[in-house]
Chain A
Amino acid sequence: MQVFTTHTGRAAPLGRSDVDTDQIIPAEFCKRLTKTGYADTLFANWREDPEFVLNDPARAGASVLVAGHNFGTGSSREHAVWALRDWGFRAVIATSFGDIFLRNAFKNGLLAVALSPDVVERLAGCAERDPAFEIEIDLDRRDVRADGGTWTFEVDRRARWLLLNGLDDIGVTLGSAQAIGEYEGRRHSWLPALRRGELATGRPAEHGVAR
């Protein structure tokens, strides 16, 4: 996991709420097999509008996205986070986030920071007026500093610890392998378990043979 301690960057105001992951990255771009290479797909449909904020040359290099409420709602696609990261965003500030998006974000070193509506509105206003407006985010102190103000934010304790130390999430969990094994010994014996080949009825359709 990529280390995240502090970040200071220019803010881009999205000016929208309930931004679903289908807007962040349309499904047609979720066919790739990689975790990178998604910068061109970020907000692909909205970017067709020349007035869209990320099309403004003055916003090039912005690394903190300021949205409204319920950012990243909808589909579980982690591609939404990969696209934001590839574009150059290190943090998103909003009043609330979709649950799955929030988990996906921290797993990729993208900090999703929830602040109160009046603060988010104030930061968005500053960013709208001034493309050079900067926001500082400190994960260790759990606060955001900008426009002369300081606001603290909540963050999942494990996520914060993993990010501050750049730890491998799965590696940490595998440290509990013994407890996992013990739990498995206590599971109900009737719970379903599958053998490969148990359910499939026959041969898959051969690709290349149209029917």
Chain B
Amino acid sequence: MVGPVTLVEKIWDQHVVHRAPGEPDLLYIDLHLIHEASSPQAFDGLRLAERAVRRPDLTLAVEDHNVPTDSLFIRDTMGRAQVQQLRDNCSRYGIEHLPHGDARQGIVHVVAPELGLVQPGMTVVCGDSHTSTHGAFGALAFGVGTSDVEHVLATQTLALVRPRTMAVNFVGLPPVDVTPKDLILALIASLGANGAHGYVLEYRGPVVDAMSVEGRMTMCNMSIEAGARAGLVAPDERTFEYLRGRRVAPQDAAWDEALAFWRTLRTDEGAVFDHEVTLDVSDLTPFVTWGTNPGQAVPLGDSVPDPATLSEPTQRAAAERALEYMGLAPATPMRQLEIDTVFLGSCTNGRIEDLRAAAEVIKGRQVLPRVRMLVVPGSMDVRREAEEEGLHIIFQQAGAEWRLSGCSMCMGMNSDRLQGSERVASTSNRNYEGRQGTRARTHLVSPAVAAATAVTGRLAAPSDL
């Protein structure tokens, strides 16, 4: 390597199997996560071509998209068939697999990190756009489609052109009630839903340094919502402490060797990014979405924007359409919006820290009787940890439903779906039309705002209680 380079370039160069001028690099993939919804056709392709899975030992399968969170029985026959197909494929090709009902099952992006499978400097892919979550460990992690899943199964590589790099420099320290979810929603609102297109983001600044690994996962998870290929954070002592002693993390002499290597995984002094953005977070407040893409977000204290104030015609048309779908009038204060359902969970905010934050707000309070609140731990391990801390009692006493783990209400593929045009405050990652139910209206929020909203029945921050 010549001269100072960014972390992304370092990881990239360390994984190039084959490079030729004018061609994409052939990149080695260290970890391939699979789930039931994006893999059946990939395995079919392998079978038809009579190909083997090159590295079943670098592959982990989890059941998460289709599984119900109120029982261990999938009522929907197609969902059941998809899960069965995953089981058959894993059995046939010798792939480790965490089924619905297993004590380690959960959302793929929650389970892999908690096992210690995701480590700094690795390349990680999954047939799932929120694979960017794993960038929190200083790994290069991104989502792929089913054809690429098949390609990785067969070759453990992908042919890719290296994405451009963008530094996201957060300056200042935010007030205490501002969470990683608020930071990322504010960033996406400032960049736009396509503002990071073609880039890998590196999040930097004192607020990131002070952030837990769980919080970094929340931020990296939503990198894709700004159009980025991936997002990452350079590994530091917090990362190493998180990994130490995890089930498949290196141990003893291997740990020391790995640690020495991980400490080299930083953007070099003087390295040049293709682009840099700076966001001052000193005056940030909790953020919520008002529209139908994650870039359409405002501070909770603001009002629904007026499309007439937007000068760019496509943006104005998109905003008008979003307000119509969302059933909102311009200039309505966000705090006045009545919420029917609160969803706490998903690969964005289904980790123990998220459940703790919500429990702290809701402890000793009640979910408003007309509001339904679902609490869905991101994994069965998170669920167990929460129960050991008594969090489930807090939620249940408040009137919330305490569920098993899965993707649940994030994406409308299982039985946790909204009915009609219900309005939901959701800690998930996408507020698209129909995402959580055919006509459902989604407002993306942090776990703390979700809990406060459940109590008041309107979008609210803990400070409103």
Interface residues of A (CB under 8 A from B): 16-18, 20, 22-23, 26-28, 30-35, 45, 68-70, 73-78, 81, 96, 98-101, 103-104, 107-108, 156-158, 168-171, 173-174, 176-177, 179-180, 183-184, 187-205, 207-211
Complex alpha-carbon distance, A171 and B159, angstroms: 12
Q: Could you tell me the distance between the alpha carbons of A32 and B435 in the complex, rounded to whole angstroms? A: 18
Interface centre among B26, B78, B314 (most CB of A within 10 A): B314
Contact B38 A103 (CB under 8 A): no
Which residues of chain B come closer than 8 Å to A190, judged between CB atoms? 250, 254-255, 257-258
- Across-interface contacts of B49 in A (CB, < 8 A): 168, 170-171
Verify if B346 is at the interface (C-beta below 8 Å from A).
no
Which residues on B sit within 8 Å (CB–CB) of A78? 38, 41, 145-147
**Smallest CB separation, B114 vs chain A (Å):** 11
Q: Is the Cβ of A27 less than 8 Å from the Cβ of B412?
A: yes
Among residues of A, the one whose C-beta sits closest to the C-beta of B28 is A183
CA distance A200 to B31 in the complex (A): 18
Closest residue of chain B to A77, judged by CB?
B38
Give every chain B residue within 8 A of A96 (Cβ-Cβ): 194, 197
**A77 close to B254 (CB less than 8 A):** no
Q: Which residues of B (304-323) have their CB < 8 Å from a CB of A?
A: 314, 318, 321
Given A31-B76, A74-B432, A76-B127: A174 and B154 interface contact (C-beta under 8 Å): yes
Query: Nearest chain-B residue to A1 (Cβ)?
Result: B147
Q: Could you tell me the distance between the alpha carbons of A96 and B192 in the complex, rounded to whole angstroms?
A: 14
- B413, CB-defined interface residue at 8 Å: yes
Against A, the Cβ 8 Å flags (1 = close, 0 = not) of B375-404 are 000000000000000000000000000000
Interface residues on B, range: 35 or more
Alpha-carbon gap, A196 to B91, bound state (A): 9
CB-contacts of B343-374 with A (<8 A): none
Chain A hits for B127, CB < 8 A: 76
> A29 to nearest B CB, angstroms?
9
Q: Are B26 and A209 in contact (CB under 8 A)?
A: no
Contacts of B329 in A (CB 8 A): none
Once the chains are docked, how many angstroms separate the CA of A108 from the CA of B318? Answer: 29
Judge if B426 is at the interface, Cβ distance under 8 Å.
Answer: no
The smallest C-beta distance from B60 to any residue of chain A, in angstroms, reads 6
Residues of B within 8 A of A33 (CB): 40-41, 44, 81-82, 85
A69 contacts B258, C-beta separation under 8 Å: no
Distance (whole angstroms) from the CB of A80 to the closest CB of chain B: 9
Q: Which residues of A sit under 8 angstroms from B57, Cβ to Cβ?
A: 193-195
Contact in complex: B145, A23 (CB < 8 Å)? no
16 A/B residue pairs, CB under 8 Å, sorted by A: A18-B194, A23-B434, A31-B78, A75-B411, A77-B37, A107-B148, A108-B147, A157-B22, A171-B49, A179-B26, A191-B30, A192-B119, A195-B96, A196-B94, A197-B96, A199-B115
